[in-house]
Structure 1
Amino acid sequence: MSTLILASTSVYRRALLERLRIPFQCLAPHTDESPLAHETPSALAIRLAQAKAQAIANMHPQAWVIGSDQVVDCQGQLLGKPGNHERAVAQLQSMRGQVVKFHTAVCVIAPHFCEVRNVITEVLFKNLSDATIESYLRAEEPYDCAGSAKSEGLGISLLEYIRSDDPTALVGLPLITTLQLLKQSGFPLPLQ
């Protein structure tokens, strides 16, 4: 039986991967997520997804390992998880009325296989009032989400549109892409 490991402790990524009904375990990769000087959002997401997968693959070389990371690009400014209310307010204020790009990279490492892809999701935020931002943050407290909004929850009301080839990418793990990479790597998938 093939062992599948998600190199993440994210409850969001875990819930997404559970949708596939494939047994897996989650392990924390303990990687430094600091951006390098002059690193683009795409390059950062790709590097971190691969670093997370590689950290776990080094400990479990016979397993299939999935690593993923998301970086938010708001008019050239990188946004991460706000961590608290004040930073979440600032993030949502900076994104109001803006098209924001979410770079969600996924890497699959398996014996004799390593591939990484980046899925870009474009999101147009409404021109949000400070009162709307405050009400939303008090209701949902999305302080552990890059970009300070949960599109799978009440945060959807803050958006004009979401454009992506892989709809789960915005939540943190592009499942269509993940399945493509698992299939390429030879992992036995259900319904295949």
Structure 2
Amino acid sequence: MNRESPVILASTSPYRRDLLARLGIPFTTAASAVEETPLPDETPAQLVQRLALAKAGAVFAQQPQAIVIGADQMAVCEGAVLGKPGNAEGATRQLRRISGKRVDFLNGLAIMAPSLPVARVELITYTVHMRALSDQEIADYIRRDRPFDCAGSFRSEALGIALASRLEGEDPTALIGLPLIRLCALLAAAGRPVLG
């Protein structure tokens, strides 16, 4: 139905780009300048969904013939949002904070397309139970993996998996920032099935 509509990922994240490439459909990426400050009384779950929708909407407004995918992710531990640490000191603080605890990775996923009467936006959560980590393990992980651009300093697709004791969720790609299982369903709803 929408085989002629270009697919655009409203993100310049290399992680999301690599994940979407797994589906084997042609796509381009576009940056979307969206203000990410939380609204008063907005929960992290509400925030990631609003930002995913805003990112898709910003690109769709410029490319209304396209199928546009928006995504946002944040890590939450004991009610506190964990952003990207930026450097080794920030990563050390984060990893000490989440040592031995549960971290929920909240993903907002949105899609807009000419064939959809309204935008679709969903929340996909994936949970990581962290091992109790020694300072030596934290230092070694940071030195080897350099997770400075990853929410919660946790890079699941690399050495970060050694920090976890258990994972819970329906889609492990949600840990990296683009839940492909749900995205396949949303693309099909937009008239662009991945298979068939």
TM-score > 0.5, shorter chain as reference: yes
The answer to whether the 8 Å contact 2:187/2:194 transfers is no
What is the DSSP-based 3-state SS (H/G/I as helix, E as strand, rest coil) of the residue aligned with 1:62? coil
Match of 2:91 in 1: 88
Match of 1:11 in 2: 14
Q: Give the whole-Å Cα distance in 1 for the aligned partners of 2:194 and 2:121.
A: 22
Q: Give the whole-Å Cα distance in 2 for the aligned partners of 1:123 and 1:41.
A: 17
Q: How does 1:23-172 map to 2 (within 5 A)?
A: 23-113=26-116, 114-172=119-177
Q: Give the whole-Å Cα distance in 2 for the aligned partners of 1:55 and 1:126.
A: 40
Letter in 1 for 2:66: A
What is the DSSP-based 3-state SS (H/G/I as helix, E as strand, rest coil) of the residue aligned with 1:32? coil
What is the DSSP-based 3-state SS (H/G/I as helix, E as strand, rest coil) of the residue aligned with 2:31? coil
Shift of 1:18: 0.2
The answer to whether the 8 Å contact 1:44/1:71 transfers is no
Letter in 2 for 1:15: D
Letter in 1 for 2:120: E
Following TM superposition, the consecutive aligned residue runs of length 4 or more in structure 1 with deviations greater than 4 angstroms are: none
Q: Give the whole-Å Cα distance in 1 for the aligned partners of 2:194 and 2:45.
A: 31
Identity %, equivalent residues: 48
Q: Give the whole-Å Cα distance in 2 for the aligned partners of 1:57 and 1:21.
A: 22
Q: Which runs of 5+ in 2 are unaligned?
A: none
Q: Give the whole-Å Cα distance in 2 for the aligned partners of 1:146 and 1:37.
A: 22
Q: Give the whole-Å Cα distance in 2 for the aligned partners of 1:106 and 1:190.
A: 17
Shift of 1:34: 1.9
Normalising by structure 2, report the TM-score: 0.94
Shift of 1:112: 4.8
What is the DSSP-based 3-state SS (H/G/I as helix, E as strand, rest coil) of the residue aligned with 2:59? helix
Q: Give the whole-Å Cα distance in 2 for the aligned partners of 1:99 and 1:173.
A: 20
What is the DSSP-based 3-state SS (H/G/I as helix, E as strand, rest coil) of the residue aligned with 2:183? helix
1:96-153 deviation line (CA, Å, top 9, x unaligned): 1101111011100111521011111111001011111111011111100111011110
Q: Give the whole-Å Cα distance in 2 for the aligned partners of 1:164 and 1:190.
A: 22
Q: Give the whole-Å Cα distance in 2 for the aligned partners of 1:2 and 1:14.
A: 18
Q: Which runs of 5+ in 1 are unaligned?
A: none
- What RMSD over aligned residues (CA atoms) do the two structures have, in Å? 1.0
Normalising by structure 1, report the TM-score: 0.96
